Amino acid sequence: MKFAKTLFLYFVMILVFGGIIYLLLRYGKSLQHDGIFPVPDSSGGVSVTSSFYNGLRSHLKDALPLLLLQIVVIISFTQLLGTLFRKIGQPAVIGETVAGIMLGPSLLGLLFPGGFHFLFPPESIENLKFLSQIGLILFMFIVGMELDSRLIKHQALEALIISHASILIPYTLGIGLSFFIYSQYATAHSSFFSFALFMGIAMSITAFPVLARIIRDRGLTTTKLGVLAISCAASDDVTAWCLLALLIAFIKSGSGSAGFFTIGLVMLYAAIMLIPVRILLNRILRVYQRQGIGYNFLMAAMFTMLLLSAYCTEMIGIHALFGGFMAGVIMPKNDDLRKLISNRISDLVIVMLLPLFFVLTGLRTYAGLLNHSAAWISFGLILLVAVGGKFGGSTLAARLMGQSWKDSLSIGALMNTRGLMELIVLNIGYDMGVLGPEIFSMMVMMALLTTMMTSPALSIIEKMQKSYIKPVPE
């Protein structure tokens, strides 16, 4: 009975107020000024279905609906490929990168050009780029937070020598390689100085997050090998990113004197972040722990510092990514706070924003450009230098530091992991006009192959070691 009464009152309310609205609109029409254009009538020769279809096509071309559709397709496809690659023992980042390449001109654009141009029209790329840049800044912030300086201090000298050898050797080989490929693959606006130094940096990168994940998945986190490898990768990360920041400063300044001025600004920025800003953040955390401020104020302070840091490095002339990385490095040494912030933003970054970056990389990768023997020879040289410099240099340095051959080879295999960090460096070089489409595509393929080598190489090294150990006779 109560339900029927409630339903009756609801319909009475709809009828009464619906009638009032109708009368107001009908008699209010007399108040409008002359010259107002009437609302178009669908009966003027255009069917309702055609009108709806035309409106739908128009909406699909708008920036926001197109961006939402792109994000849905990108997330779905990268998650699918990431899951498949995890099942075959590869890092998910490899599958996500392959998904990005498959959605680009190398596969989707080749097989379904109409669908490719509908999904990724040229005017929509800037929106993807800006969103992916926000994701990269947040990702580098997480990387900076996870970079535990205590690991570097634990085996400081040994890790420093191995990591710097794994930078210097491939860096030198990369510059040497530039003598053979500069004239053919450098852009018209790229000097040999810029191209060669950038090739050196690209050969020297190690993917610290991917390496740490591989070590954790293989149960090596608490072993001597695992700690040393993470220490080397952490030292490698800091050194390589500092070198890249200095290189970008020189390239963007256009002259030696301006480059030194930019480096001076970078050093001033780093000093301000490492001393007064770090002290301020620690004080804010202590006030929060005494419940002097709320959680929202704490998060607002941390993210404001992150964005200002990224803004400063962009204005200085290096890259906003370095600001995100530095903001993570100076975060208070509080595991609970770091875990809290990381959990808050990692899902958004890893699941939604980073896949946009993979697809942006895929849109810039043209595997079809490698359609002649000279290109494949050049790619072979790039891969040989990358593996020989990083794997060989790290292995040799570890062996000279007294590590066993098994541990030395394992460190070499781990340090040869490039992953996402390499893609970030390559995209910076592409945006700056140092790398052209053909060399960019070769370097992306090199990054994928060297990262895919890591897990199989570690398994082979373990099997080789077991085969040399003969059972003790009873």
Comparing C-alpha atoms, which of 273, 267, 274 is closest to residue 242? 267
Comparing C-alpha atoms, which of 116, 113, 109, 122 is closest to residue 63? 122
- Alpha carbon 384 to its chain centroid, in Å, reads 25
Return the residue matching tokens 């060669």.
196
Per-residue pLDDT, 49: 67
Residue type at 72 in one-letter notation = V
How far is 97 from 361, CA to CA, in rounded Å?
A: 8
Helix (H, G, I), strand (E, B), or coil: what is residue 186?
strand
pLDDT tens, residue order, the chain (474 aa): 788 888 889 899 999 999 999 888 888 877 776 655 555 554 455 566 665 566 666 666 678 889 999 999 999 999 999 999 988 888 888 888 899 999 999 889 989 999 999 999 988 888 999 999 999 899 889 888 877 666 556 556 778 888 889 899 999 999 999 999 998 888 888 889 889 999 999 999 888 777 877 887 777 766 778 878 888 887 787 788 788 888 887 777 665 566 677 778 888 998 999 999 999 999 999 998 888 888 888 889 999 999 999 999 888 877 888 888 889 889 987 878 888 888 888 888 888 898 999 899 999 888 877 878 888 999 999 999 999 999 999 999 999 888 888 889 999 999 998 888 888 889 989 988 889 899 999 999 999 999 999 889 988 988 876 655 444 344
Compute CA distances 298 → 134, 310, 341, 345, 362, whole Å: 21, 19, 10, 15, 38
Per-residue pLDDT, 472: 39
Comparing C-alpha atoms, which of 447, 452, 417, 434 is closest to residue 209? 417
Per-residue pLDDT, 210: 79
229, 215 Cβ separation under 8 angstroms: yes
How far is 167 from 2, CA to CA, in rounded Å?
A: 79
Per-residue pLDDT, 62: 78
How far is 64 from 60, CA to CA, in rounded Å?
A: 9
Dihedral sign for Cα 396, 397, 401, 407, please: negative
Distance in angstroms between the alpha carbons of the first and the last residue of the chain: 90
CB atoms within 10 A of CB 161: 16
Per-residue pLDDT, 444: 92
Residue type at 136 in one-letter notation = L
Comparing C-alpha atoms, which of 393, 404, 398 is closest to residue 165? 393
pLDDT tens-digit profile of 443-471?
999 999 999 998 899 889 888 766 554 44
Q: Mutual orientation of helices 405-415 and 208-217 as an angle, nearest 10°?
A: 130
Burial letters 306-336, b for 16+ CB under 10 A, else e: bbebbebbbebbbbbbbbbbbbbbbbbebee
- Write the CATH number of the domain with boundaries 93-119+126-461: 1.20.1530.20
Please state the pTM of the whole predicted model.
0.79
How far is 24 from 62, CA to CA, in rounded Å?
A: 35
Q: Phi/psi of residue 435, each to 5°?
A: -105, 130
Per-residue pLDDT, 146: 77
Per-residue pLDDT, 242: 81
How far is 49 from 59, CA to CA, in rounded Å?
A: 15
Per-residue pLDDT, 234: 76
342, 146 Cβ separation under 8 angstroms: yes
Each domain of the chain, given as residue ranges in start order, spans: 93-119+126-461
Residue type at 434 in one-letter notation = V
pLDDT tens-digit profile of 46-69?
566 665 566 666 666 678 889 999
